[in-house]
Structure 1
Amino acid sequence: MPVALTADQTALAETVTGFADRYAGREYTRKNTDRLKQGLRPEFWPDLVALGLTGVHLPETVGGQGGTLDDLAVVLAESGRALLPGPLLPTVVASTVLREAVGEDSAAEAVLRRFADGATGALIGPEHAVVTGIADDRTGSGLSGETGLILGAASAELFLVAAAAGAETRWFLVERDAAGVEVEAKDGADLGRDIGVVRFRDVSVAVPVELDTDRAVAVAVAFLAVEASGVIRWCCDTATEYVKSRVQFGRPIGAFQAVQHRTAQLLITSELATAAAWDAVRGLGDEAGQRTHAVAGAVLSTLGNAVHAAVECLALHGAIGFTWEHDLHLYWRRAMALAGLAGPVESWELRLGEAALHGPRNFAVPLPETDSSFREWVSEILDRAAQLDNTNPSKIGDDDSVNTGPRRALLAESGLVSPPMAQPYGIEAGPLEQLILQDEYDRHGIAQPSMGIGQWVVPIVLHRGTPDQLARLAGPALRGEEIWCQLFSEPEAGSDVASLSLRATRVDGGWRLQGQKIWTTLAHRSDWGLLLARTDPDAGRHAGLTMFLVDMHADGVQVRPIVQASGDAEFNEVFFDDAFVPDEMVLGEPGQGWALTLETLAQERLFIGGVRDPGHNKRIRGIIERGEYAGTRDDAVRTLGRISARGAAISAMNLRETIRRLDGHSVGPATSVAKAAASILHTDAAAAALGLIGPAAALGEAVSEPVHHELDIPTWVIGGGTLEIQLNTISTFVLGLPRK
């Protein structure tokens, strides 16, 4: 998915792509490498300026387009995907940082007008050895020192320079042709862009520009990440198209599972990189701690994976990707340059880890409310609910979200337990209403009610059940008085549900069930089960299935808990030995089981939630705060930073998907990608916690929570479908790779 979310941003992205196709193809870079490396502007620069792309983010008062940084992010991401040569990136970094001084500094405003008119620039940050002797009274010597490598140094007409003034940092605008300024172009890895060193020899400067130094650095790094996300997306798209068309052994190589999985993993990398880069730009307006979260996360999830993505693209291409004629090495080179300019990943891990010690990244959903009546209605109900209690512990845990009592009864009666459902069971809440509801639950300090596994089972019953079924089952389920489970998986039919063999044979007044289900979550606590059985063995795999509503306490139903490696027993084997189900407990019609199974999955898409912290940070943060790490504190904090970045990228992807849903779009591929990414993270985060505690990992699970969590990992990484099944889904249904 591109950085663009709105229709206007999509149109802007298409404008950039169209421009690059007309003027700045990769062939231009090949033919003009020497000129570009020396800092000469590409011939198309005036056209780029005339189109407004260099000033899309600048105020209209200075000649810009009046857009946002989100709009600029779209331009940069698409320029990265198109490998646009020239000084666009360093110029917009400088103009964005300088934009903060407009309104208070007339000199800054005049320079922004020059940027809007097409001037080029570069930012020289505080990490470079530039000093000034200017004192508080603005007197003293000018700028002196030599920088490290500066992107766009040779092409810049203007420098925005951070200089050390004792313990302080001051910012100055310096003309490239000012006396005492010397620029030496270097031979960069990127064939389409200049890089160089700038020397200042007592350069006279005007009054300093008042800028936030930390934010200035954050802008530069965030924009590097955004462009890198475009590079990664090109690698993913190009590899995907190649494996669809490249034929070996008589079929496209994209039909081979190993290739499919590798391509799907590259898509996951790309989607997380895009989300993290987008969040970095979103975070530029946040307070310092949250800004560090966002920008450092983008370094780790985007810039830290750019070179990897290029290498994966090469691996999927084989030898052809290693040739000079193939465009891949041009992107590979830019990926190396962008990642290198951000600095060592390890230092960003440490920086992010320190920020994460104070809490997770904030992913509050911006709600486009125009009418407060729904919120007021919900608030009035929750005001009443707050005066009541849930006094009865649930069979699936003593937690207010599942406990029963007057509060839960009021919420069920009001349609607030399963809000997307039709009245009277829900309130037909759309995405916005569900998020407002969640916000109000949080504001009132009330746990949002849950039906456990029934949260995904009961909606299909409410949607397709007969009046008699609903009269018997709906109320107790919504009030939490009866627990539901899902009886799909069998010993020989795990992810391949359609191959199930449990038989339902018609008898007078109903059906007899014979067979076994397995890995049924909380079956030993359940009162009812949604069961898929084969009723016509002569029909096709999908045609001969029927859905049943099964009383888990009926004769012939035997539940055997499966004790897991952790000692817990959340899953079960369920045996059906001639168990009877009356006709009135068939859901839908006989033979409709597969269609209802798909509809059960589709019902999940009606539900939407805010973006929550997955909890991995809390475990590692606790280890650090209690001093339980075996190595150095810095090693532990870097581990927290690594895990935090990956969790935040998934959360950013979910936030983007939520924003899309609020804008009226249907569920996109981000749902499948996030599920696979979360599965990988669960495993890696558990291993990271074990690694931190060192010898304490030899303790038993009863006394070591990280050990218990490690032993419980299958609950997370198998229960929702193994990673391999998820990668199969992504490769065939999202990427469109051939099955055969």
Structure 2
Amino acid sequence: MAIALTEEQQELSAAVEGFVARYASRTRADLDSFAAGERPDHWRALVAQGLHAVHLPESHGGQGGGLGDLAVVLDAVGRGLLPGPFVPTVLTSAVVSRTPEGPARDDLLDLLVRGAMAALVQPGSNLTATPSAGGWVLGGQSAPVLGLLAADVLVVGAETGSGTVWLRLDPDADGVERVAEEGVDLTRDIGRLYLDEVAVPAGAELGELADVRHLVTALSAAETAGVMSWCVRSVVEYAQVREQFGRPIGSFQAVKHKTARLFVAAELAAAAAWDAVRSLDQDADQQRLAVGSAAVVALGRAVDACLEAVTLFGGIGFTWEHDVHLYWRRAMSLAALTGPPGTWLADLGEAALDHRRSASVVLADEDSDFRRAIGATIDTALDLPEDGNARRRFLADAGLISPHWPAPYGLGATPAQQLTIAEEFARRSYTPPSTVIGEWAMPTILAHGTPEQAERFAGPTLRGELVWCQLFSEPGAGSDLAGLSTKAVKVDGGWRLDGQKVWNSGAHQADWGICLARTDPDAPKHKGISYFLVDMRADGVDVRPLRQATGASEFNEVFLTGVFVPDDGVVGAPGDGWRLTMTTLGNERTSISSTLGSRDEEPLRDLITKNLYAGSRSDAIAALGRTAAYGNALGALTLRETLRRLAGQQPGAGASVAKVASAQLHRDAADQTFALGGPEAAVRSGGPADVARLELGAPAQLIGGGTVEIQLNVIAERVLKLPRG
């Protein structure tokens, strides 16, 4: 639950957390001095360590890092609740560092690196700048400004009538008044700036600035992610030791699920904040998408997340003595200062109408020859006829259908190469064919099967000549998969299978199925299970489509009555099926998580662009904005998992988090799409859009691949280490 990805960033994060922890014990004792804007005791040590200048250029005495490094620091600062003017100062210096080079910028950066405290007064306040013979005359009153009282120097954005001018302002100049306000955040000062005919010399201009609002919001989201991370960590520690009814409260499922959902929210916030910061070096539309998403998913969610933490602590969490209300207050302050959520939703929704968030990243030591070769191969494929199977056969033979599979079926592509391949397909707006269930079945066969099995099934699967289904779930063994009762009895030359499977996607169209059956009824629950390859046209296989609430029949129940499977249809050793199943389920959940999210925007986008929605356009745009925000955060989460693998790190909790988050996103998007349908949502055909389709189909996402509740248990017990019930 940290923004830090690389080993260096993780070390930086740990160093900042350690620094903050050394001074945290005095926070409550010094609340009055923080509110008054007094220089905190830790400031000298903070400056000596250079924590305030990690993002500033070395030419001015800074550490030479980027905004990504500053985001790591802010994340750790939020987690430790560092008091005082640090955040207002680094936000100001980050803004100044991105202004055009010039004497005013250089002098100010030198001052800030030496340890001056600063505050940023953003445009939108009632501050005006009028040209004068010697420069500018400022007047008006600001909105609340964080760190105003502590600041040694101010950077002010004032309206000129034709735009915004950014000026360095001495807070002690004639006509400048700083008035303290009682802040929600007790650990930092806040006030209003009053300017009465304040003369500012012409040399104080800082030049044109990029979108300061995006920069400040992205970095504020990073601090917010740290606040949410602290909530999760503290709640987990409490739930592990606090007892009720003779048991740790973390063993109760209600607490498990609330804590796991809090963790999911924190992980999405960290991913969205990270993505927002990296977007600051991209074009304006990409910034609107990423920063808007962080404003919704991090800043817009943090207050409620902190409230959830309060309730998980119970009565003690609602006392003045418990620190959770200090974090809650900081989340409230950050959310308020970055603007109303509705404004962000509106801007994000408008951006999402015509643009998609890019997952493109710049990789160190990229193999440009590999990229060119992949691009040329895809171009050759696209020159082939789209009808028929020629294009797919060519891509399969080139190893580009499932490039992560080992040669000769794939390329044995590394995570970096997989990212390159995906980008090259995306550049050409072409989605490569999928093997669907084959993406879950074949990796297991390739990893645990015989060479003959791999040769028999891999090529035809890639070319689309074989279609797979999964015969795992049973009427009495859904989420409790190991509770299956289908039996496999050894007979001459193979095995005889008898049992019933259910919820089998595409079984009515499948050529082969991967099937779990119990070969040793006396073995423990997770033992004595074997992994079979079943010919779906074999005698005794009876596929019966299940008609869903949608009216379609995508799922099936499958009856196996005396079905013969030869010995070469067993993958691995008899009794080793559960271990193999973990390979399959791992691929299944990763596959589901990596494809859900972004497509939930399409029905909303379609309703808006075709003017098919009921009600106001602003409601429709806000619905698209909210869906895009969580879809973008999910995409960022998946991208971060890929980058972890590129760095040689172990996979995180991303797959389980994404499964829960994508299911909730799909449900919310379906609800919003249906609501926007208005009276037309009452009809399925003949109307302008079948908006009921998503609502009726939501259970497939909420149940498929393991129910959300099961995934919450997995997160609570395996990731957060809460005790089992």
Q: Which residue of 2 aligns with 1:397?
A: none
| Pairing 1:450-599 to 2, within 5 Å after superposition | 450-599=434-583
SS in 2 for 1:667: coil
Write the letter of the residue equivalent to 1:589. A
* Residue 738, structure 1, aligned to residue 723, structure 2: yes
Write the letter of the residue equivalent to 2:160. A
Q: Which residue of 2 aligns with 1:399?
A: none
Q: Which residue of 2 aligns with 1:75?
A: 73
| Pairing 1:317-356 to 2, within 5 Å after superposition | 317-356=313-352
Q: Is contact 2:139-2:195 (8 Å) kept?
A: yes
Q: Which runs of 5+ in 1 are unaligned?
A: 393-404
SS in 1 for 2:622: helix
Alignment deviations for residues 556-575 of structure 1 (CA, whole Å, 9 cap, x no partner): 10101111111211111111
> Judging changes above 3 Å, is the alpha-carbon distance between structure 1 residues 81 and 536 closer, same or farther for their aligned structure 2 residues?
same
| Pairing 1:433-448 to 2, within 5 Å after superposition | 433-443=417-427, 446-448=430-432
Q: Is contact 1:702-1:708 (8 Å) kept?
A: no
> Judging changes above 3 Å, is the alpha-carbon distance between structure 1 residues 503 and 80 closer, same or farther for their aligned structure 2 residues?
same
SS in 2 for 1:142: strand
Pairwise CA distance, 1:192? 1.1
Q: Is contact 2:589-2:659 (8 Å) kept?
A: no
Q: Is contact 1:565-1:712 (8 Å) kept?
A: yes
Pairwise CA distance, 1:695? 1.2
Alignment deviations for residues 312-361 of structure 1 (CA, whole Å, 9 cap, x no partner): 11111111111121111111111111111112211221122222222222
> Judging changes above 3 Å, is the alpha-carbon distance between structure 1 residues 684 and 601 closer, same or farther for their aligned structure 2 residues?
same
Write the letter of the residue equivalent to 2:3. V
Pairwise CA distance, 1:175? 0.6
Q: Is contact 2:218-2:294 (8 Å) kept?
A: yes
Pairwise CA distance, 1:145? 0.9
Q: Which residue of 2 aligns with 1:236?
A: 232
Q: Is contact 1:363-1:611 (8 Å) kept?
A: no
Pairwise CA distance, 1:412? 2.6
Pairwise CA distance, 1:723? 1.0
Pairwise CA distance, 1:249? 1.3
Question: How many Å separate the matches in 2 of 1:570 and 1:8?
Answer: 48
Q: Which residue of 1 aligns with 2:191?
A: 196
Question: How many Å separate the matches in 1 of 2:287 and 2:356?
Answer: 12
Among 36, 41, 58, the alignment partner of 2:39 is 41
* Residue 186, structure 1, aligned to residue 181, structure 2: yes
Among 722, 728, 734, the alignment partner of 2:713 is 728
* Residue 65, structure 1, aligned to residue 58, structure 2: no
SS in 2 for 1:183: strand
Pairwise CA distance, 1:60? 1.0
Q: Which residue of 2 aligns with 1:660?
A: 644
Q: Which residue of 2 aligns with 1:127?
A: 124
Question: How many Å separate the matches in 1 of 2:266 and 2:554?
Answer: 35
SS in 1 for 2:441: helix
Question: How many Å separate the matches in 1 of 2:431 and 2:303?
Answer: 44
Among 101, 105, 110, the alignment partner of 1:113 is 110
Question: How many Å separate the matches in 2 of 1:214 and 1:346?
Answer: 23
Question: How many Å separate the matches in 1 of 2:37 and 2:48?
Answer: 20
> Judging changes above 3 Å, is the alpha-carbon distance between structure 1 residues 134 and 47 closer, same or farther for their aligned structure 2 residues?
same
Q: Which residue of 2 aligns with 1:156?
A: 151
Q: Which residue of 2 aligns with 1:226?
A: 222
Write the letter of the residue equivalent to 1:32. D
Q: Which runs of 5+ in 2 are unaligned?
A: none
Write the letter of the residue equivalent to 1:323. T
Q: Which residue of 2 aligns with 1:303?
A: 299
* Residue 16, structure 1, aligned to residue 22, structure 2: no
> Judging changes above 3 Å, is the alpha-carbon distance between structure 1 residues 611 and 694 closer, same or farther for their aligned structure 2 residues?
closer
SS in 2 for 1:289: helix
Question: How many Å separate the matches in 2 of 1:608 and 1:700?
Answer: 27
Pairwise CA distance, 1:606? 9.3
* Residue 94, structure 1, aligned to residue 79, structure 2: no
Pairwise CA distance, 1:369? 4.2
SS in 2 for 1:200: strand
Alignment deviations for residues 214-266 of structure 1 (CA, whole Å, 9 cap, x no partner): 61122222222211111111111100111011111111111111100000000
Question: How many Å separate the matches in 1 of 2:475 and 2:111?
Answer: 70
Q: Is contact 1:434-1:608 (8 Å) kept?
A: no
Question: How many Å separate the matches in 2 of 1:630 and 1:383?
Answer: 43
Question: How many Å separate the matches in 2 of 1:423 and 1:285?
Answer: 38
Question: How many Å separate the matches in 1 of 2:329 and 2:187?
Answer: 10
Question: How many Å separate the matches in 2 of 1:486 and 1:365?
Answer: 35
Question: How many Å separate the matches in 2 of 1:432 and 1:310?
Answer: 37
Q: Which residue of 2 aligns with 1:7?
A: 7
TM (norm. structure 1) is: 0.94
Question: How many Å separate the matches in 1 of 2:495 and 2:507?
Answer: 21
| Pairing 1:152-301 to 2, within 5 Å after superposition | 152-207=147-202, 209-212=205-208, 215-301=211-297
Question: How many Å separate the matches in 2 of 1:86 and 1:528?
Answer: 64
SS in 2 for 1:523: coil
Question: How many Å separate the matches in 2 of 1:484 and 1:421?
Answer: 17
Q: Which residue of 2 aligns with 1:400?
A: none
How many residues are treated as equivalent by the alignment? 723
Among 126, 137, 143, the alignment partner of 1:142 is 137
Question: How many Å separate the matches in 2 of 1:609 and 1:721?
Answer: 12
Question: How many Å separate the matches in 1 of 2:201 and 2:645?
Answer: 50
Question: How many Å separate the matches in 2 of 1:495 and 1:606?
Answer: 17
Bigger Cα displacement from structure 2, 491-500 vs 446-455? 446-455
> Judging changes above 3 Å, is the alpha-carbon distance between structure 1 residues 472 and 655 closer, same or farther for their aligned structure 2 residues?
closer
Q: Is contact 1:520-1:571 (8 Å) kept?
A: yes
Q: Is contact 2:588-2:705 (8 Å) kept?
A: no
Pairwise CA distance, 1:378? 3.0
Question: How many Å separate the matches in 1 of 2:698 and 2:586?
Answer: 27
Write the letter of the residue equivalent to 1:597. T
Question: How many Å separate the matches in 2 of 1:669 and 1:211?
Answer: 44
Q: Which residue of 2 aligns with 1:408?
A: 392
Pairwise CA distance, 1:494? 0.5
Question: How many Å separate the matches in 1 of 2:563 and 2:528?
Answer: 19
Question: How many Å separate the matches in 1 of 2:454 and 2:366?
Answer: 35
Pairwise CA distance, 1:436? 1.8
> Judging changes above 3 Å, is the alpha-carbon distance between structure 1 residues 420 and 214 closer, same or farther for their aligned structure 2 residues?
closer
Pairwise CA distance, 1:591? 0.9
Alignment deviations for residues 132-158 of structure 1 (CA, whole Å, 9 cap, x no partner): 2117xx667510111121101100111
Pairwise CA distance, 1:604? 5.9
Pairwise CA distance, 1:303? 1.1
- What is the RMSD of the two structures over their aligned residues, measured on CA atoms? 2.0
Write the letter of the residue equivalent to 2:131. I
Q: Is contact 1:435-1:610 (8 Å) kept?
A: no
Question: How many Å separate the matches in 2 of 1:223 and 1:533?
Answer: 53
Write the letter of the residue equivalent to 2:94. T
Bigger Cα displacement from structure 2, 122-131 vs 210-219? 210-219
Question: How many Å separate the matches in 2 of 1:340 and 1:358?
Answer: 29
Q: Is contact 2:589-2:705 (8 Å) kept?
A: no
Pairwise CA distance, 1:14? 1.1
Pairwise CA distance, 1:423? 2.3
Q: Is contact 1:76-1:227 (8 Å) kept?
A: yes
Write the letter of the residue equivalent to 1:263. T
Write the letter of the residue equivalent to 2:551. G
